[in-house]
Amino acid sequence: MASEKVPMLEAKIERWPIEGRFTISRGAKTEAVVVVAEVRHGEVTGRGECVPYHRYGETPEATLSAIVGMKDAFVRGLDRQALQSAMPPSAARNALDCALLDLEAKRSGERIWDLLGCPAPLPRVTTYTISLGSPETMAAAAGKAAYRPLLKIKLGGQGDEARIAAVRRAAPDCELIVDANEAWTEANLEANLAACAHAGVTLVEQPLPAGHDAALARIKRPVAVCADESVHDRASLNGLRDRYDAVNIKLDKTGGLTEALAMADAAIAQGFDIMVGCMVATSLAMAPAMLIAQQARFVDLDGPLLLARDRDCGLRYDDTLVYPPDAALWG
């Protein structure tokens, strides 16, 4: 009878092929490796998906172990609120937090936004990502996607001025976001920002390495700059306002939707614009982030569009619009 009274926890690693190849400044990959947590209470199962990120010292195996290691705590009655202090912000906590939220919704028969007191989410325009490559390759990819209103361009440091110009020529009417993934240096920062301004780029994401970004406070920024690797949760917002205009909220960094919602409120109160971002993953990882998307100036939830296939009951993508999840998927 114990399994009917307390959640039972399981987790697994899944691999989802990427359509082609996804390349950023730190390397390329052909599959998305995700970890799925499942919390069962009687006949009801809640699910959450995360993407362990090597940049933060995470691996799928260690993340799986961290999730499974919480089994005894769940048997003792650990709930979502206690989870926030029981685990550090991480991909592992994200999967558990979202699984518990999904379980709450399914057990109540209500949608999770109603339980959390949030407005019902509406469809939002999402970015579509152009992988890092030569200017010619990126221009060709941007040209094929030029019907989309918002493109996110992956950059890599040397040669980025040419990449930015080539993409703009291929997609003259698109709003552009560029993501350097920490690949710029103080030596080329101002030249690259000027190239972005000349091309009409709206936002530059994480141009300098986290912890080595003080130069952003010393220069006049001609384009808005967004923190990604430099910001994780509410605690990391302090001290960023002089360097960044926006923050990228990703559930794998915040350790789940619970902290992400609180972080969004705190960031807005401090004057930041919000971007909600993702790793390459299935719709199960994107679904909780749709609640953050309602407050975001920039929505970057195109992970499933980069896969060869998505999971069943995945999010609906209508060209540029991404729709809230059906209950069959999450929440």
Name the active-site residue from 5, 106, 152, 250: 250
Q: What CATH architecture does domain 2-110 belong to? A: 2-Layer Sandwich (3.30)
Using DSSP, state whether 110 is helix, strand or coil. coil
DSSP 8-state assignment for residue 12: E
Residue 2 is predicted with a pLDDT of 42
Location of each CATH 3.30.390.10 domain in the chain: 2-110
Q: What's the token pair of residue 160? A: 């980025």
Residue 22 is predicted with a pLDDT of 80
Q: Could you confirm whether 154 is annotated as catalytic?
A: yes
Q: Could you confirm whether 250 is annotated as catalytic?
A: yes
Question: Quick one: what percent of the chain has pLDDT higher than 70?
Answer: 98
Residue 278 is predicted with a pLDDT of 95
Burial class (CB in 10 A: 0-12, 13-18, 19+), 77: exposed
Location of each CATH 3.20.20.120 domain in the chain: 124-322
Give the chain's residues under pLDDT 70. Answer: 1-6, 25-26
Query: 52 with 62: CB under 8 angstroms?
Result: yes
Name the active-site residue from 29, 154, 220, 253: 154
Q: What's the token pair of residue 166? A: 């080539």
Is 124-322 assigned to CATH 3.20.20.120? yes
Residue 39 is predicted with a pLDDT of 95
Residue 13 is predicted with a pLDDT of 98
